[in-house]
Amino acid sequence: MKKIIAALAITASLVSCTKDFKELNTSKDGARYTTPETLLGPAVHDVIKKNLNRCLRLTHELMQVHVTLSDGDEIHRYVIRPQESDYMWNNWYLQLTNIKDIYKGGDAINNKAFMGISLVLDTWVSSLLTDVYGDVPYFDANKGREYVLQPKFDKQKDIYQDLFKKLEEANELLRTASTTDVEAKMDPIFAGDITKWRKFCNSLYLRLLLRVSGTGELGAREKILDIVETRKSNYPIFTSNNDSAILKFQGTDPYLSEFAEYRDIDFQVSSSYSEFFINNLNDWGDPRRDKWASKKDNAFIGIPSGYPVGQVPAPQSQYLAALRSEPLLGNIINYPELQFILAECAVKGYIPGDAKTYYETGVAAALGMWGFTVPTGYLTDTSAQWYENDNASQKLHQIMLQKYYTLFFTDFQSWIEHRRTGFPTLPKGVGLQNDGIMPTRLKYPVNVQRVNQQNYLAAVANMGGDDLKTKVWWNK
């Protein structure tokens, strides 16, 4: 039995964390099902907390938000050890079981809202899995109750095709759901507002469509136009910061931030902001500095990333302690990101509309989300200014640089977007390893290689390798 449980945990066939779980939980008081609302908050909260953990450890160091002050941690030099792969793999698959049970519970009680919500969350987490690792167990995953202990790996293209089907189904379920289907206190993101869940669904849809649009496959470009223009009334999307999908952390249980109980050394002292991150904010006179960074000698100062071994820089500006409990760090996808998505789509000709308007709306919304207005001259007298005569590449750089700051503490998104576009352009320190190439994915967990070897080898053959330089389907 111990071997079976271990296999479930590491081969993406995870059962929920409750013993004797049949099709749905059967409680001792006679209740037949675990009601979906009891799973929603804990599942979303756990995913976001784990995402924050690795965003701090991996994303922000790879993407030069901060730089470690220890020679022993070499992620900023593009060194990612194999054991780093286990953490998100295991936790994402664990919560996918609970998220899928939300759908089953909603179906059992004829609750379309929870069925739709489950599909949106399933798509969100599954997209993270495939974007970080590439081909992963998908269609056979989370079937431990059916004794599928060695699930096959599915091609990323096939996964994305199914994710789009799920979002189509979710949009329709949420369209026809009762507005009273979800009790406000049981929904930590939208307090039972089904309309906002539907906007979340379609805004996420646009994120993922744009991600694969460069392949020219799955009709992604055509679907972007369909959502934004042709049938926009059938696909509502975010219209303000108030629509953003953010689990806003509280000062007490049950929705504490991942960082709420971190020690100073774990959150602040062990790193400093990078020169790249701070210098752009300084150039723009960006007021978000005051909420994000400490000062050194009365100035915001960063340190170089990718420094050589044995040349650890002196500490400079660091994370502010207030960020440990900052509600906005519970971000999944927000309105400013959507505006930058639309700006890119306009630049590439996928949709009609003025890219500059989308861009400047995104900038204003990104600052507004943190409680600031756009400073005088921000969009006219700094490098944040939009130049209509710039070429498409220059415009994309402008968009992605602002998007980079909007994705502050948002799971792996800035790294994923950098892999997709090459922007923002990051300086390369002389101490970089991995041939100076930004890692393009995480390797598969070691335990998965061992206990699901046949399917692992098939996946590696399909992807063309299992290393930090192997590109995923949408990135080739």
Which tokens in the block code for residue 471? 């590109």
Which tokens in the block code for residue 475? 């990135």
Q: How far apart are CA 461 and CA 444, in angstroms?
A: 13
Q: How far apart are CA 314 and CA 162, in angstroms?
A: 49
Q: How far apart are CA 150 and CA 168, in angstroms?
A: 29
State what percent of residues in the chain have pLDDT above 70: 93
Query: Within 13 Å, how many C-alpha atoms sit on residue 325's CB side?
Result: 9
Q: 22-36, 56-70, 207-221 — which is least confidently predicted?
A: 22-36
Q: Check whether 236 has a pLDDT greater than 80.
A: yes
Look at residue 66 and give its three-state secondary structure: strand
Q: Check whether 247 has a pLDDT greater than 50.
A: yes
Q: Check whether 107 has a pLDDT greater than 80.
A: yes
Looking at residue 10, what is its pLDDT? 46
Q: List Cβ neighbours of 401 (8 Å cut-off, separation of 6 or more).
A: 280, 423, 424
Place of tokens 């400073």: 375
What is the arithmetic mean of pLDDT over 208-230? 98
Q: How far apart are CA 287 and CA 178, in angstroms?
A: 42
Q: What is the pLDDT of residues 351-394, one digit of tens each?
A: 999 999 999 999 999 999 999 999 999 999 999 999 999 999 99
Chain Cα centroid distance, residue 315: 29
Looking at residue 23, what is its pLDDT? 45
What is the arithmetic mean of pLDDT over 431-456? 96
Looking at residue 35, what is its pLDDT? 84
Burial of 389 (C-beta count, 10 Å sphere; 0-12/13-18/19+): exposed
- CA-CA-CA-CA torsion for 321, 323, 324, 327, nearest 10 degrees? 150
Domains of the chain: 2-24+37-258+328-475 (1.25.40.390)
Paired strand residues for 137: 153
Q: How far apart are CA 52 and CA 20, in angstroms?
A: 31
What is the pTM assigned to this prediction? 0.93
Q: 27-36, 101-110, 162-171 — which is least confidently predicted?
A: 27-36
Q: What is the pLDDT of residues 129-167, one digit of tens each?
A: 999 999 999 999 988 888 888 999 999 999 999 999 999
Phi, psi of 438 (to 5 degrees): -55, 130
The answer to whether 149 and 8 have CB atoms below 8 angstroms apart is yes
Q: What is the pLDDT of residues 66-92, one digit of tens each?
A: 999 999 899 999 999 999 999 999 999
pLDDT category, 170, cuts 50, 70, 90? very high
Q: How far apart are CA 400 and CA 382, in angstroms?
A: 16
Q: 20-24, 61-65, 178-182, 251-255 — which is least confidently predicted?
A: 20-24
Q: What is the pLDDT of residues 287-305, one digit of tens each?
A: 999 999 999 999 999 999 9
Q: Check whether 15 has a pLDDT greater than 70.
A: no
Q: What is the distance in angstroms between the CA of the first residue and the CA of the last residue of the chain?
A: 42
Looking at residue 94, what is its pLDDT? 96
CA proximity to 254, closest of 421, 54, 40: 40
Looking at residue 175, what is its pLDDT? 98
* Helix (H) / strand (E) containing 153: strand 153-154
What is the arithmetic mean of pLDDT over 268-284? 97
